């Protein structure tokens, strides 16, 4: 039995193409192994977000895309699933403009696209947590960025 620390679960995949002299090729089946701890574990998560903060625009609404990265602990590994909740407020008044959630694909960032009008906004995001077999990924702390949309010309 192999034990790993920290306790992450994942799928390891092997794929090999074997070429023949006549130009054909043979592609064997993919081989997968699931690695999971033998007991339940709880893992903390951290969150990072990337996307435009200052958006010049000549027509409205302007579309802005943000990538939200829920990491396993303080590592560079992304979580294997779950969702990210978001809240968009007008800065200063804290009036809620939009809210919802987006899916976190398997070990990839969540993608959030917003339609915005001129003004300054606060975007607050939080990873909601996820249970994957014996591993529980805890919700992250909230992360806030400010977005400014302004007219060009």
CATH number, domain containing residue 76:
2.60.40.2550
* Predicted local confidence at residue 108, as pLDDT: 94
* Predicted local confidence at residue 40, as pLDDT: 85
Q: Is residue 50 part of a domain?
A: yes
Q: Is residue 17 part of a domain?
A: no
133 with 76: CB under 8 angstroms? Answer: no
Does residue 133 have a pLDDT over 90?
no
The per-residue pLDDT for range 69-108, each reduced to its tens digit, is: 999 998 889 999 999 999 999 998 999 999 999 999 999 9
Burial of 80 (0-12, 13-18, 19+ CB in 10 A): buried
Instruction: Give the structural domain span for 81.
Output: 41-151
Mean pLDDT across 53-69 = 96
Q: Is residue 10 part of a domain?
A: no
CA distance linking residue 52 with residue 64, whole number of Å = 7
Q: How many domains does the chain have?
A: 1
Which uninterrupted H or E stretch holds 43? strand 41-43
* Predicted local confidence at residue 41, as pLDDT: 86
What secondary structure letter does DSSP report for 45?
A: E
CA distance linking residue 48 with residue 70, whole number of Å = 7
Of 50, 36, 39, residue with least CA distance to 8? 36
69 with 109: CB under 8 angstroms? Answer: yes
Q: Is residue 92 part of a domain?
A: yes
Q: How far is CA 142 from the centre of its chain?
A: 14
The per-residue pLDDT for range 4-50, each reduced to its tens digit, is: 555 555 555 555 566 666 666 655 545 555 556 667 889 999 999 99
The per-residue pLDDT for range 97-123, each reduced to its tens digit, is: 999 999 999 999 999 999 999 999 999
Q: Is residue 15 part of a domain?
A: no
Q: Is residue 126 part of a domain?
A: yes
Q: Is residue 31 part of a domain?
A: no
| pTM value > 0.85 | no
Q: Is residue 22 part of a domain?
A: no
CA distance linking residue 43 with residue 81, whole number of Å = 13
């Amino acid at each position: 039995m192999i034990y790993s620390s920290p306790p992450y679960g994942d799928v390891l995949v092997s794929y090999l193409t074997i070429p023949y002299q006549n130009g054909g090729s043979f592609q064997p089946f993919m081989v997968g192994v699931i690695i999971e701890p033998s007991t339940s574990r709880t893992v903390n998560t951290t969150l990072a977000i990337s996307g435009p903060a200052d958006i010049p625009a000549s027509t409205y609404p302007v579309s802005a895309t943000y990538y939200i990265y829920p990491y396993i602990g303080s590592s560079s590994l992304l979580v294997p699933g779950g969702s990210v909740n978001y809240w968009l407020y007008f800065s200063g008044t804290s009036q809620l403009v939009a809210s919802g959630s987006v899916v976190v694909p398997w070990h990839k960032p969540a993608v959030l696209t917003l339609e915005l009008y001129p003004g300054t906004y606060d975007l607050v995001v939080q990873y909601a947590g996820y249970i994957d077999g014996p591993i529980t990924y805890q919700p992250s702390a909230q992360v806030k960025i400010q977005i400014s949309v302004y007219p060009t010309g």
